[in-house]
Amino acid sequence: KQTLLPLLKEEVSSFIFPCKLAMQRPEWQHMVMELLRCIPLLLFLLFVCGLDHFIFTILSVIQNHSFIEYSYQASHHLSVNVMGTSLMAELLRGTIGALNTSFESETETSNLVCLPRPTGMTRQQYLNTCLPLGLLALLCLAQVYPFRLRRVIASFYFPKREKARVLFLYNKLLRQRKNFLHLQRGRVARQARLPPELGTVLLRRCRRRWPWLRRYLRQKCTLCGTPETPQHQPCPNPDCFALYCESCW
C-alpha cells in the first residue's frame, strides 16, 4: 500500500524478505538460539573425549611402568653315605641309598597377562565422533531458508487465514508508524530545546564560512543518524539546523 511503502529503516529490520540470500535480523536471533542449544552437546562431547584420553593415558602408564618379571631357581641334593664292610652296612646301603635324590628347578613368570592393553582412538575416529555435531550446526545455519517457505505453504492451504494475517499486519504497521512519528517528534522537540554543544557550533560555523568543507564535515540525519548525502533535506525553518534523510523526511 502507498500509505506504508517505502518502509522505514526501523521497520525493515523487523521483516524477513524471502528473496534475500543474506540472513536477516529475525533469522539471526532464531539461529543463535538454535546454536546455543548445541552448546550442551558440544560440552558433553568434549568431556567424553577428554575422559577417554585421560583413561587411555592412565592405562598406558600402568602398562609401561608396572611390568614385573619373576625368576625362581631351586636345587635339592640328598646323599646318604654308609661306611663299613659289614653285613649291616651293606644292608643299610641297599635300603637308605635309595633315598639319595638330586633335582634342580627354574621357574620364570610375569604379570603380563594381568596388565591392561589400552587402544587409543585415532584422529579419524575423533573426527567421526564430532562430525554429527558439526552437521547439526550446519543444519542450524541452513534451516533459515526452508523456514521462509512456511508462510507460503500456510497461505496455499489457508487463504482466508492468510488474508486475515495480512490485514492484521497492515493495521499493526499503521499504528506503529503513527506512534513512531509521535515519539520522534517529541524526541526532536526535546533535542531542539537543549543548548547545542561546542563541537556542533564550531561545525556549523565552519560549514557556513567555508562551504567547500561540507564535503568533509558532513552532518547526520536527526532521526536515524545516517551520514549526509545530496538527498538529505534540511528543515525549512531558517532558525533550525536539523537535517533529515529522504525516508525520514
Q: Which three-class secondary structure string do you get for the chain?
A: CCCCCCCCHHHHCCCCCCCCCCCCHHHHHHHHHHHHHHHHHHHHHHHHHHHHHHHHHHHHHHHHHCCCEEEEEEEEEECCCCCCCCHHHHHHHHHHHHHCEEEEEEEEEECCCCCCCCCCCCHHHHHHHHHHHHHHHHHHHHCHHHHCCHHHHHHHHCHHHHHHHHHHHHHHHHHHHHHHHHHHHHHHHHHHHCCCCHHHHHHHHHHHHCHHHHHCCCCECCCCCCECCCCCEECCCCCCCCEECCCCC
Per the omega criterion (within 30 degrees of 0), is the bond before 6 cis? yes
Kindly give the parts of the chain with pLDDT less than 50: none
Q: At residue 146, what is the residue type? A: P
Q: How far apart (Å, rounded) are the C-alpha atoms in residues 12 and 202? A: 35
Are 56 and 120 contacting, i.e. CB atoms less than 8 angstroms apart? yes
Grid coordinates in use for 15? 521483516
In this structure, are residues 223 and 192 in contact, taking their beta carbons and an 8 Å threshold? no
Q: Are 56 and 118 in contact (CB under 8 A)?
A: yes
The strand pair at 101-110 and 69-78 is best described as antiparallel
Q: What pLDDT shows up at residue 238?
A: 73
Residues in the chain, total: 249
Nearest alpha-carbon partner for 204 in 244, 246, 240 = 240
> Cα separations (Å) of 235 from 19, 181, 203, 241?
36, 16, 17, 7
- Can you give the pLDDT at residue 199? 64
Q: What is the pLDDT of residue 227?
A: 78
Q: What would the pLDDT profile of 83-129 be if each residue is shown by its tens digit?
A: 777 777 777 777 777 777 787 888 888 888 888 888 888 889 999 99
pLDDT of residue 113: 84
Could you give the CA distance from residue 34 to residue 36 in angstroms, rounded to a whole number?
5
Q: What are 227's strand-pairing partners? A: 220
Predicted pLDDT at 212: 64
Q: Are 81 and 96 in contact (CB under 8 A)?
A: no
Name, in order, each residue with C-beta under 8 angstroms of 47's C-beta and a sequence gap of 6 or more.
Answer: none
